[in-house]
A and B are shown apart, each in its own frame.
Chain A
Amino acid sequence: EVQLVESGGGLVRPGGSLRLSCEASGFPFSTYWMHWVRQAPGKGLVWVSRINTDGSITSYADSVKGRFTISRDNAKNTLYLQMNSLRAEDTAVYYCARVYWNFDFWGRGTLVTVSS
């Protein structure tokens, strides 16, 4: 059974940092591009970042470029999102998703709240 389990969310002050993790199981993790998508409370889905199979290619939405870093450890079947200089507008549920030209499987998400 395919599983994606996010963790690492929580309450953080503006300007702070958090590291999200997404542990994958039930499929060959190292063969999939992986993405992060976020959803602010009551709002729509917004693409955040992606990483290729070996971690050598990454892309970011303009809103997080320079502040967020995506990475992966294929030996641990885990995807990461390092989030620095957090802002109130980064408050959202962060989903990791497996992608092969479509987002065919999503984790349950982890809530990040940026507030003083």
Chain B
Amino acid sequence: QSALTQPRSVSGSPGQSVTISCTGTSSDVGGYNYVSWYQQHPGKVPKLMIYDVTKRPTGVPDRFSGSKSGNTASLTISGLQAEDEADYYCCSYAGSPWVFGGGTKLTVL
């Protein structure tokens, strides 16, 4: 049950695009289309941003998009805004357990 691998931090300027990667194995990310992404602001509860690799819940801006290739999933945020600054976590079904990534801190410069 190893955590999925995410970059510790990424940054971008307002209006730019950033991509956060999430690397697992064929037993989790590569084996199932149940990858989701969560945004967490400091002191707040995680919020679902992307589910089933590419789907957005109602109310999540279409600036957020997800994709997957092999054992790596990605979250892309386009048109960066100040309020996007937060921690982002990927998550994948892995058979019986579930596994989260270590988290990525997004800084909007």
What residues of chain A have their CB less than 8 Å away from a CB belonging to chain B?
Answer: 35, 37, 44-47, 50, 59-62, 95, 101-109
Contacts and interface: CB of A to CB of B under 8 A. Distances in A.
Contacts of A95: 45-46
Interface size class of B (residues with CB under 8 A): 20 to 34
Interface in B30-77: 34, 36, 38, 40, 45-46, 48, 51-52, 57
Contacts of B96: 59
Nearest to B50: A102
A37 B102 CA distance: 13
Given A35-B98, A46-B3, 15 more contacts: A37-B100, A44-B3, A44-B103, A45-B46, A45-B100, A47-B91, A59-B97, A101-B51, A101-B93, A102-B36, A103-B38, A103-B46, A103-B48, A107-B45, A108-B45
| Chain B residues touching A, majority SS | strand
B106 to A, nearest CB: 14
Secondary structure of the A contact surface, majority rule: strand
B1 A50 contact: no
A57 to B, nearest CB: 9
Contacts of B98: 35, 47, 50
B101 interface: yes
Given A47-B99, A62-B1, A101 B45 contact: no
Contacts of A45: 38, 40, 46, 89, 91, 100, 103
Interface centre among B38, B45, B87 (most CB of A within 10 A): B45
